[in-house]
Structure 1
């Protein structure tokens, strides 16, 4: 005899069946339940068939459908969103935990198409690595959060990961500002917490002699024979040309690696490189090109000294890529981490401070010594001389920045290899 159809729209169970447990001990009672949208199998156990049936009936009295897994959320650019944006609340109230408030704020940030993909990913990463990582702090109610609570949390972050403390405070300030706007929280307590000092690092720049010493070390690394037939490392001259292009331009490493063939004009009376974007690494996207540099003042056109022209020209000839000037052997964009890894392997002990960013500071220092801070500010694409002075040594123009003769005179040295 066929079983009666299970109802739709009301929760009711079908026929109960029992069978011995596969372990050989006790019995299992089983039935099907229709929640109106899906049929579920519900089971219970007992030492006898009757006991298992009774346990199942008791279970059915309070049974509710299991929560369905949500479809993976995605941002405006298709980037996958994780648990850090998973919340059921729509506003911050007196009973909202700090963790849920952060998730709500992240959900709004992640859905904002006017924010850059990199910015949205940045805030999700900060949340994962600070507030959402601390279960005790994120469980606090927003309405009961004090400036002292927040200050102690930020201090704990600073002790373990100093670079995250300022970011955590900035994020909490924005989250609490949203909470205040929702009406139930009267004051943004993060405004009452002490600011986290950036901590001034000593600026280390290469002297002219150190620059040529580093170039020689890279050449030695590149020419070191490895593999069958003694093939040289870096046959495409990628790292050596990246180094000389960094010294010739002062670009951020991802601005340089993000240059495309159409961004270069090497055949004009004054060869140029135009910065229109940058490479970014985003969760779920990998390395991708962002159609905007780090800052508005970062969009600039630089006249190139001969050293930079030679490096760019060789890459265009060796790689023949339509996408980027610098590419891997498969034509993919180059990761800054690969460049940094080679620097660590090749640099002599006396120059163990050298990273790709060192060349940016070095260009600023060279230009400052040879000309003025204004030239360095324009070359690096900073918005003010104060930034250049404080962090790189250290807008002057939005036209073509021409320090090519000055840089060539600084960098000029017989090239070997």
Structure 2
């Protein structure tokens, strides 16, 4: 098996067996391609079934000269998955990545906005135009439902179940989940759908898509990023804000106000609770206040046994 055949088979596996999204597949392919290019250029063309630990260590040393620790860790994780696949399909008996450690990473806390900052950004929208009303509905949905930008752009009219109080969201790996939608967010979405969306005249194939551009087609990720960055500047905030910042703020504000972390996990669509637990590190002062307010020995006057 050469690298070209291995990459083709691995791509089919990621798409058909794992059900990964196109961007994720491209990322995994790129990791393997970097290794293949290195081995073909520096290690006399070692094929995937003959790659050993020392080959990988040489590759990692080269990568480490140009990439930060977090980027290195992501590539190593991708390669670990590739060799796991070869073992799973009985092409290899071992995974040469098993004894290779990823660089130590500090926990990166997500950026968040305060409620006041979110109000400032949303308040900067000019709602006198159809685009403004659409952008208002977009930001209210990002913050009100905690969606990824890809999930927002994939929403369809047929995904909205307002009578039940939920929207159907298609997340990573095409996995679907139902997310609660508040009456306030429903109000802004109804306004957009009934009074604004008809102005965009959906093109063929976009009749069911919720958010449209002026040509009646779907919005791009870059367009949503541009909208958020422009409104942030107009609101006078000197912070790096992206659509994902609204998702982080959604989770942080729910947790701060007493929501159960497993409920937040379900709403965000995290497979592992450890991914959601990062939000517990964002506001240590709040956690301290919770203990001081509710712990039975908070007053320091408990009777000593």
TM-score range, shorter chain: 0.7 to 0.9
CA RMSD of aligned residues (A): 3.2
Q: How many equivalent pairs are there? A: 262
Q: Normalized per residue, which structure has more helix?
A: 2
Do the aligned partners of residues 380 and 340 (structure 1) sit closer, same or farther apart at CA in structure 2, a change above 3 Å counting?
same
Give the structure-2-normalised TM-score: 0.72
Q: Cα distance, 1:262 vs. partner?
A: 0.7
Question: Which residue does the alignment assign to 1:41?
Answer: none
The equivalent position to 1:206 in structure 2, one of 113, 117, 136, is 113
**CA distances 1:280-303 after superposition (whole Å, capped 9, x unpaired):** xxxxxxxxxxxxx2158x632233
Q: Does 1:104 align with 2:8?
A: no
2:276 maps to 388
Cα offset, 1:215, TM superposition? 1.4
8 Å CA contact 1:361, 1:392 repeated in 2 = no
Please show how residues 375-414 of structure 1 align to structure 2 within 5 Å.
Answer: 375-390=263-278
1:165 counterpart residue number: 72
CA distance in 2, matches of 1:368, 1:248: 14
Separation of aligned partners in 2, 1:190 and 1:265: 46
Question: Within 1, Cα distance between the matches of 2:270 and 2:160?
Answer: 21
* Counterparts in 2 of 1:371 and 1:121: CA distance versus 1, 3 Å: same
Question: For residue 274 of structure 1, what is the aligned residue in structure 2?
Answer: 168
TM-score (norm 1): 0.55
Q: Deviations along 1:285-337, whole A, 9 cap, x unmatched? A: xxxxxxxx2158x6322332233112321332222442211111222221122
Q: Give ranges in structure 1 of 5+ residues lacking alignment.
A: 1-90, 92-99, 224-231, 278-292, 395-417
Structure 2 CA distance for aligned equivalents of residues 248 and 187 of structure 1: 46
Partner of 1:338: 223
1:32-51 aligned at under 5 Å gives the runs none
Task: Report Cα offsets for 1:50-84 as digits up to 9, x if no partner.
Answer: xxxxxxxxxxxxxxxxxxxxxxxxxxxxxxxxxxx
Distance in 1 separating the partners of 2:12 and 2:55: 30
Structure 2: gaps (5+ residues) = 283-305
What is the aligned counterpart of 1:310 among 187, 200, 203? 187
Of 333-342 and 159-168, the range deviating more from structure 2 = 159-168
What is the rounded CA distance, in whole Å, between the counterparts of 2:58 and 2:279 in structure 1?
29
**Judging changes above 3 Å, is the alpha-carbon distance between structure 1 residues 152 and 390 closer, same or farther for their aligned structure 2 residues?**
farther
Shift of 1:368: 0.6
Superimposed CA distance per residue, residues 151-187 of structure 1 (whole angstroms, 9 cap, x where no aligned partner) = 342344355344542343234334445289446xx75
The answer on whether the counterparts of 1:154 and 1:168 sit within 8 Å (CA) in structure 2 is: no
Partner SS for 2:211: coil
Out of 144, 147, 150, which is 2:53 matched to?
147
Aligned match for 1:294, one of 158, 172, 186: 172
C-alpha displacement of 1:212:
0.8
Change (3 A) 1:334 1:171: same
Bigger radius of gyration: 1
Do residues 131 (structure 1) and 35 (structure 2) align?
yes
